[in-house]
Amino acid sequence: MNRHRSAALAVAVVLAADGLLHVYWATGSTWPAPDAASLSRAVLNAEVPFTPRVVLPLAALLCSGATVVLARGGLLDGAARRLPAVVLRWGPRAVAGGLLARGLAGLVWASGTGTEPGSAFHRLNLALYTPLCLAGAAAALAVARGPLTRATGRRPDAPGGGRG
């Protein structure tokens, strides 16, 4: 598997796993936290309801991002044939931009600004959220800069392929 496809797969796995976690939270479960308030503080650094109305749209957005990145990476040719070229071109860039924005915010929080050093959120932000977001942004950008799968599903290096 080439680097372009590997980057697409890595980004998509993280986004889809996060999306599925949001679906799980929509059921009312709070794992890995003991209650909804603790979960909210650990994930968001604030108390926000983890209701289906809040978490299901986020799950849909995360899973959609995973799908677009996989399609652009050439790993979902069926989706690549059905998605407009503009979505294949700009979708991975939007994913990269969202991940970069969260990663940069995470760097601010890592400095102790807006978060309590030593809190669950602060530790998770340093160890998990910010590194994943920054690495994901770089990988999504690599996918966005890679060859564009045409709406026909053919790769640019395939017979009859080309930039689309």
Report the C-alpha gap between 15 and 137 in whole angstroms: 11
**Contact indicator for 8, 143 with CB cutoff of 8 Å:** yes
**Would you list the domain boundaries of the chain?**
3-144
- Tell me the two tokens of residue 19: 């999306």
Helix (H) or strand (E) holding 16: helix 3-26
Report the C-alpha gap between 135 and 130 in whole angstroms: 8
What pLDDT score does 150 carry?
A: 52
What pLDDT score does 155 carry?
A: 47
Residue 93, C-beta contacts closer than 8 angstroms, at least 6 positions apart: 140, 141, 144
DSSP three-state, residue 138: helix
Q: Which among 113, 123, 112 has a CA at the least distance from the CA of 43?
A: 123
Residue 134, C-beta contacts closer than 8 angstroms, at least 6 positions apart: 99, 100, 103, 106
What pLDDT score does 125 carry?
A: 97
Helix count (H) and strand count (E) of the chain? 7, 0
* pLDDT tens across the length of the chain (164 residues): 699 999 999 999 999 999 999 999 999 999 999 999 999 999 999 999 999 999 999 999 999 999 999 999 999 988 888 999 999 999 999 999 999 999 999 999 999 999 999 999 999 999 999 999 999 999 999 999 998 755 434 445 544 444 44
Q: Give helix 3-26 / helix 130-145 axis angle, nearest 10°.
A: 130
